Amino acid sequence: NGKTVLITGASRGIGESAARLFAEAGANVVLVARSRGDIERIAGEIGDQAIAVTCDVSDYDSVQAAVDTAVAKFGSLDVLINNAGLVEPISHLATSDPAGWDKVIDVNLKGVYYGMRAAMPIMQKAGGGSILTISSGAAHGPVEAWSHYCASKAGVNMLTRCVDTEARHQGIRAIGLSPGTVATEMQREIKASGINPVSQMDWSDHIPPEWVARCLLWMCGPEADDWVGNEISLRDEDI
Ligand code: NJP
pLDDT, averaged across the chain: 95
pLDDT at 239: 47
- Measured in Å, residue 169 CA sits from the centre of ligand 1 at 31
Residue 138's pLDDT band (boundaries 50, 70, 90)? Answer: very high
Q: What does the pLDDT look like over 144-198, one tens digit per residue?
A: 999 999 999 999 999 999 999 999 999 999 999 999 999 999 999 999 998 887 7
* CATH number of residue 142's parent domain: 3.40.50.720
User: In the structure, which protein residues have their CB atom closer than 6 angstroms to any atom of ligand 1?
Assistant: 8-15, 33-35, 55-58, 83-86, 107, 134, 136-137, 178-179, 181-182, 184-187
Q: Is residue 14 part of a domain?
A: yes
Pick the atom of ligand 1 nearest to 86's CA: 17
Q: Is residue 100 part of a domain?
A: yes
pLDDT at 237: 59
Number of domains in the chain: 1
- Measured in Å, residue 72 CA sits from the centre of ligand 1 at 26
Spell out a b/e string for 159-185, using b for 16 or more CB atoms within 10 Å of the CB, else e.
Answer: bbeebbeebeeeebbbbbbbbbbbbbe
Q: Is residue 112 part of a domain?
A: yes
Q: What does the pLDDT look like over 9-37, one tens digit per residue?
A: 999 999 999 999 999 999 999 999 999 99
Q: pTM for the complete prediction?
A: 0.97
149 is catalytic: yes
The domain in which residue 175 lies consists of 4-234
- Measured in Å, residue 88 CA sits from the centre of ligand 1 at 11
Q: What does the pLDDT look like over 71-104, one tens digit per residue?
A: 999 999 999 999 999 999 999 999 999 999 999 9
Whose Cα sits closest to atom 48 in ligand 1? 136
pLDDT at 228: 85
Closest CA to 19 of 68, 57, 53: 53
Q: Is residue 239 part of a domain?
A: no
